Amino acid sequence: MSIAKKSTYDYVIIGSGFGGSVSALRLAQKGYSVLVIEKGKWFKPKDFPKTNWDLKSWLWEPRLKFHGFFKMTYLNHVTILSGVGVGGGSLTYANTLPIPKKEFFTSGSWKGLRDWEEELEVHYKEAHRMLGAEENPYLGPADNLIKNVAEDLGKEACFSPAKVAVHFGIPGKTYKDPYFKGKGPERKGCTQCGACMTGCRYNAKNTLDKNYLYLAQQLGVEIIAEHEVFDVIPIDKTNTKKGYYVFYNGSINKEKKQSITAKNIIFSGGVLGTVPLLLKLKKNNSLPNLSEMLGCNIRTNNESLLLVTSTEKKSKDYTKGIAIGSILHIDENSHLEPVRYGKGSSFFKLLTIPSVQHKYAIVRILGIVALLVKSPIKILKTTFTKNYSSRTTVLLFMQTLDSTLRLKLGKVTKLKTVKESSKSPSGFIPEASKLAKIIGKKVKAMPYSNITDVLLGTPTTAHILGGAVMAKDSSIGVIDKNNKVFGYDNMYVCDGSMISANPGVNPSLSITAITELAMSRIPDKKDLKT
């Protein structure tokens, strides 16, 4: 559908990721009319690429006519990996649903606004239920590799299978809806092909279009795909309770501009959707009362992504399993997860170089030259191996330790980041590098990093967070403890940009749970005063 059925809705939701999907279902259950506008496409299992070499089906880059679901954004302080499409990041994420440790709930700009750990407990349970979370029953070679490292470090008790949004059962077997008493779609048992992040072609991954959005549509929620909101203007600037005009057009085919009226607005486009849009609306005077803190407190989840490619003659097949099947808690602040892509998905080989860590770029470059001289055969074997994805394990290292950036509209580029905290996010985390070297020795591998990580010293993150954080007032944040935007009535933010501290683990579950809490505080339509 590309045209709204109505001219006015109780709620218009911009974006269909974890925040948008939860909002759509819960508001529909409360009796509201809801429209979701998503700039990406609808995807069915058959639409997903077999490997990430099918760039047109995998990458989102409309300027190149690439209309996939995976987006890479290069900014001056960080490289961001994100998802686009109906279901948002769930289409390409690694299914992993951990609950953060206590520090997440007691730090950052939302500290003290509520007892977050207690308030969110029931909503984390509901999020697990809705997303079909269960403990991974199968440890693949990459998981066992990390388990072996844990044993060597005396941390075997700190290793565990991941809790993931995947339907297991008998591989390839079709099941009637196993989650919602027959109201949901059929599912199939996971085949352990490792291709979760290039889109599940076997109907085993519990993406949002199979739970929250699927159920929301049954209640009348409308979803317009391939369209993008470009302006939101109050109907009455002196009384924003009257609602907003929402203007949108095609994101792929530049169809004629359209407009609708919304009594309430929810921004759910993720950090790279919500924050730039709000910055633009503030700048062009559509929403001038937005907080000056908009774009602040951007966090990278303090991540480091490193790759190790086995050069053993009889290497194990590291594609077997789900995208992330296990987690190792290194210490109270650090976590390590082994990540895999499916067979043939070796595109990232083009974007990596040997990992060299140092404060100065010239030293890192000289270090790469030294490695070329010292270990040319290993580098050649890594680069030209025929079975790159089968031999490669991506190491995702995350920390709860904090560092922040500020996101701004750029003059030359669409967006730019500026240093905010005393310590900017870095692509170099000594603990991560040490672990990568330990793991590399076990499989005769040399750790690799994203080219930008090494040459520019910037991190790569799949979990960009913040920019519209919670706080007690607009001098510190953008939204209040109920996700309401300061300065405007009937306006909310429910996505990764609301995350107000560093979770240190995969954040999708937290975005879901916090949105569940926000929606639980909105009254049923029938209970509103007329």
pLDDT tens-digit series, residues 185-203: 999 999 999 999 999 999 9
Who contacts 418 (Cβ-Cβ below 8 Å, separation ≥6)?
77, 405, 406, 408
Residue reference for tokens 């030294």: 370
Amino acid at the residue 81: L
**515's tokens:** 């949105």
| CA 237 to mean position of chain CA atoms | 34
Selection from 322, 406, 362 nearest residue 75 by Cα: 406
The SS3 call for residue 49 is coil
- Give the mean pLDDT of 241-262: 92
Dihedral angle computed from the Cα positions of residues 500, 501, 504 and 510, in that order, rounded to the nearest 10 degrees: -40
Q: Please identify every residue annotated as catalytic.
A: 463
Spatial separation of the C-alpha atoms in residues 530 and 523, rounded to whole Å: 13
Spatial separation of the C-alpha atoms in residues 58 and 51, rounded to whole Å: 8
Spatial separation of the C-alpha atoms in residues 418 and 298, rounded to whole Å: 10
Q: Is 431 exposed, middle or buried (0-12, 13-18, 19+ CB in 10 A)?
A: middle
Query: What's the pLDDT score for residue 318?
Result: 96
Cβ atoms of 437 and 447 within 8 Å: the answer is yes
Query: What's the pLDDT score for residue 426?
Result: 75
Q: Is the pLDDT of residue 494 over 60?
A: yes
Residue range 324-361, pLDDT digits in tens? 999 999 988 889 999 999 999 999 999 999 998 877 88
Residue range 110-150, pLDDT digits in tens? 999 999 999 999 999 999 999 999 999 999 999 999 999 99
Query: What's the pLDDT score for residue 5?
Result: 84
Query: What's the pLDDT score for residue 530?
Result: 57
Q: Is the pLDDT of residue 280 over 80?
A: yes
**224's tokens:** 């317009």
Query: What's the pLDDT score for residue 383?
Result: 86
Facing residues of 159 across strands?
A: 328
The SS3 call for residue 261 is strand
**491's tokens:** 């306006």
Q: Does domain 8-42+85-133+206-298+464-522 have CATH number 3.30.360.10?
A: no
Strand 258-267, strand 8-14: pairing: parallel
Dihedral angle computed from the Cα positions of residues 214, 220, 226 and 227, in that order, rounded to the nearest 10 degrees: -140
Cβ atoms of 83 and 198 within 8 Å: the answer is no
Spatial separation of the C-alpha atoms in residues 82 and 197, rounded to whole Å: 11
Query: What's the pLDDT score for residue 1?
Result: 55
Q: What is the CA radius of gyration of the chain?
A: 22
Q: What is the helix (H) or strand (E) element at residue 369, kind and residue range?
A: helix 361-374
- Average pLDDT for the chain: 94
Spatial separation of the C-alpha atoms in residues 254 and 199, rounded to whole Å: 26
Q: Residue 457 phi/psi, 5° resolution?
A: 75, 20
| CA 435 to mean position of chain CA atoms | 24
Spatial separation of the C-alpha atoms in residues 339 and 337, rounded to whole Å: 6
Amino acid at the residue 423: K
Q: Domain boundaries in the chain?
A: 8-42+85-133+206-298+464-522, 137-197+303-401+417-459
Spatial separation of the C-alpha atoms in residues 480 and 475, rounded to whole Å: 11
Spatial separation of the C-alpha atoms in residues 149 and 136, rounded to whole Å: 19
Angle at 375 between CA 369 and CA 381, to 5 degrees: 115
Who contacts 118 (Cβ-Cβ below 8 Å, separation ≥6)?
none
**Per-residue confidence at 2, pLDDT binned at 50, 70, 90?**
low
Residue range 24-78, pLDDT digits in tens? 999 999 999 999 999 999 999 999 999 999 999 999 999 999 999 999 999 989 9
Q: How many CB atoms lie within 10 A of CB 487?
A: 15
Lowest pLDDT segment from 265-279, 309-323, 393-407, 492-506: 393-407
Q: What is the helix (H) or strand (E) element at residue 223, kind and residue range?
A: strand 222-224
Q: Residue 167 phi/psi, 5° resolution?
A: -95, 120
Spatial separation of the C-alpha atoms in residues 519 and 422, rounded to whole Å: 35
Q: Is the pLDDT of residue 529 over 80?
A: no
- Give the mean pLDDT of 217-235: 97
Mapped to the 3 state alphabet, what secondary structure does 111-173 carry?
A: CCCCCHHHHHHHHHHHHHHHCCCEECCCCCHHHHHHHHHHHHCCCHHHEEECEECECCCCECC
Amino acid at the residue 483: N
Count of alpha carbons within 13 Å of 273, Cβ hemisphere only?
Answer: 32
